Amino acid sequence: MSDKPADRHAAEKLIYGFHPVLARLRQDPAGIFEIYLDLTRRDARARDLVHQAKDNGVKLAQVEADRLTRLVGKTAKHQGVVARVKPVALTHSLDEVLENIQARRSWSSSTASPTRTISARSCARPMPSACTP
């Protein structure tokens, strides 16, 4: 892969909001290039993010909120945090996922503990508790 800006940007993605960024930081810190944090954020969530980034060796830059807005757009709710990350590749095709579900159903039907299968047709919206097997 070349080091041209177009190639580099194609190999990265932006995620934003505390939950998505912290989740990626906990699961795949090596997949984060850099985290941008609103420099006015000094609350517990921001402090936790700073500590997690430092503990995992992830570069963190404190920037002005308008820079975050320019990165993700005016309508995005970034909550004061944006991260540049490696895109997560899907490792399974739809056929593989469906085969895996079928295999699990076969396995669960052969165990002593019965499982319940809920079809989409038997569910009344909007209350999932109204679903019948």
Q: Exposure pattern of 115-131 as b/e (b: 16+ CB <10 Å)?
A: eeeeeeeeeeeeeeeee
Top pLDDT among 108 and 78 is at: 78
Instruction: Confirm whether 62 is domain-assigned.
Output: yes
Our count of domains for the chain comes to: 1
Q: Is the peptide bond before 126 cis (omega within 30 degrees of 0)?
A: yes
Instruction: Confirm whether 115 is domain-assigned.
Output: no
pLDDT band at 102 (very low <50, low <70, confident <90, very high): confident
pTM of the model: 0.62
- We report the CATH number of the domain holding residue 68 as 3.30.1330.30
pLDDT band at 62 (very low <50, low <70, confident <90, very high): very high
Instruction: Confirm whether 114 is domain-assigned.
Output: no
SS3 of 9-60: HHCCEEEECHHHHHHHHHHCHHHEEEEEEECCCCCHHHHHHHHHHHHCCCCE
Instruction: Confirm whether 109 is domain-assigned.
Output: no
Domain residues for the domain of 65 are 5-85
Q: Residue 113 has which token pair?
A: 């503990």
Instruction: Confirm whether 36 is domain-assigned.
Output: yes
